[in-house]
């Protein structure tokens, strides 16, 4: 089972628009939206959920006022300053470590597990899709990403799908690490701006850290020729293959406004050609790469 994860470091470079266009070109694939923080792929693919589960992340400490003797041990031990002098727990600051629960001499602190979001498995016009919704101001997005990737993988194995296409989150932190570990390869979408080039370097370093093969697609490649050359110099230096160069075009936004993937609308022929060739080049590189060994993701496994 091969899995391609589309990431970018910097947000807004075109990950989701390109992921959706790729989904429209892929056959026998499972689609996965791993940007659970601000998921957007469903706006283009209109998934119809046939499976739905609550996602329980961590637990949250709650002081049982009847049993509390106001000794202040909890506030003293909390390293997250989540417990005020008046012994009130701030649910947003609470990290869910449980230290206060374990050290309260009266056993007066409850630790209910929290519903942090929902996971969905859906039908779309381009195949099955694993996705999620993280609750407002909730934590554990990395863990939620791991859950939906695992569901995508199970489904793909059962149905003998040829690949998993995953739309990843921006950044280089916990949800990104949870999105890319154990994938076959990552495709980094970069745009021709200094900020995007800067972020490409950091996210590429992250992929190197996890020993993942990297491809690059330059989006909005004609906005700045000079920065494009700098991106090309960087990829040459790192022996990274550029699988596509997609021109800037308002048709991308127009398709989005219509709730369509780019190729479902009649678009500028150069744009269409660039997307099709990016996809075929990506597949060519992916075919060359071996199937990775499944890895144990330590920080996602539940305690039990």
Partner 1 sequence: MKIAVASGKGGTGKTTIATNLAASISGTATLLDCDVEEPNAHLFLKPEFIRSNPVDVFVPAIDSEKCNGCRACVDICRFNALTAVGSQVLVFPELCHSCRGCQLVCPEQAVTAQSRTIGWIESAQRNDLLFTHGRMRVGEAMAPPLINAVKQEAPQKGHIIIDAPPGTSCPVITTIKTCDFVLLVTEPTPFGLHDLKLAAAVVKSLAIPCGIVLNRSDIGDESVIRFAAENDLEILLKLQYDVEIARSYANGLLLVEQDEHYLTIFQNLLRRIETQLETSVGVL
Residue from 138, 180, 215, 271 touching partner 1 (CB under 8 A): that is 138
| Residue 69 Cα distances to 61, 103, 109, angstroms | 16, 13, 11
Question: What track of x and - describes contact with partner 1 for positions 212 through 251 (by CB under 8 A)?
Answer: -----------xx-xx----------------------x-
Contacts with partner 1 by CB under 8 A: the residue count is 64
Q: Which stretch binds partner 1 (CB under 8 A): 32-40, 47-55, 151-159, 281-289?
A: 32-40
| Adjacent-strand bridge partners of 287 | none
For the CB of residue 58, give the shortest distance to partner 1 in the complex, in Å: 7
- Contacting residues for 181 by C-beta, under 8 A, at least 6 apart: 210, 295, 297
In whole angstroms, the minimum distance from the beta carbon of 32 to partner 1 comes to: 18
Q: Which of residues 61-120 bind partner 1 (CB under 8 A)?
A: 77, 79-80, 92, 95-99, 102-103
CA 14 to chain centre: 14
Cα atoms found within 13 Å of the Cα of residue 242, Cβ hemisphere only: 20
**What whole-number distance in Å separates Cα of residue 248 and Cα of residue 274?**
11
Write the CB contacts of 294 (distance below 8 Å, at least 6 apart in sequence).
182
CA distance 225 to 221: 7
Residues that bind partner 1 (CB under 8 A): 8-13, 16, 37-38, 40, 43, 58-59, 77, 79-80, 92, 95-99, 102-103, 134, 136-139, 141-142, 169-177, 192-195, 198-199, 202-203, 205-206, 209, 223-224, 226-227, 250, 253, 256-257, 259, 298-299, 301, 303
């Amino acid at each position: 089972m091969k899995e391609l994860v589309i990431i970018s470091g910097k947000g807004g470079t075109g990950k989701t628009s390109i992921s959706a266009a790729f989904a429209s070109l892929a056959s026998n694939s499972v689609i996965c939206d791993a940007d659970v923080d601000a998921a957007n792929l469903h706006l283009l693919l209109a998934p119809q959920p046939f499976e739905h589960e609550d996602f329980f992340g961590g637990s949250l400490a709650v002081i049982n006022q009847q049993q509390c003797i106001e000794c202040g041990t909890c506030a003293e031990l909390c390293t997250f300053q989540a417990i005020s002098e008046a012994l009130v727990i701030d649910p947003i600051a609470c990290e869910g470590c449980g230290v206060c629960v374990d050290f309260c001499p009266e056993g007066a602190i409850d630790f209910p597990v929290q519903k942090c979001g929902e996971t969905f498995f859906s039908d779309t016009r381009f195949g099955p899709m694993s996705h999620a919704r993280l609750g407002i101001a909730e934590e554990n997005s990395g863990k939620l990403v791991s859950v939906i990737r695992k569901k995508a993988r199970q489904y793909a194995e059962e149905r003998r799908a040829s690949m998993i296409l995953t739309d990843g989150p921006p950044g280089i932190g916990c949800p990104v690490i949870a999105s890319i570990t154990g994938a076959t390869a990552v495709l980094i979408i970069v745009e021709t701006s200094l900020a995007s080039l800067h972020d490409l370097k950091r996210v590429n370093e992250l992929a190197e850290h996890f020993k993942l093969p990297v491809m690059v697609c330059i989006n909005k490649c004609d906005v700045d020729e000079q920065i494009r050359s700098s991106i090309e110099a960087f990829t040459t230096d790192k022996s990274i293959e550029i699988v596509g160069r997609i021109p800037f075009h308002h048709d991308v936004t127009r398709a989005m406004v219509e709730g369509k993937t780019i190729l479902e609308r009649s678009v500028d022929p150069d744009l269409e050609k660039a997307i099709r060739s990016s996809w075929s080049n990506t597949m060519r590189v992916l075919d060359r790469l071996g199937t990775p060994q499944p890895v144990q993701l330590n920080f996602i496994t539940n305690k039990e």
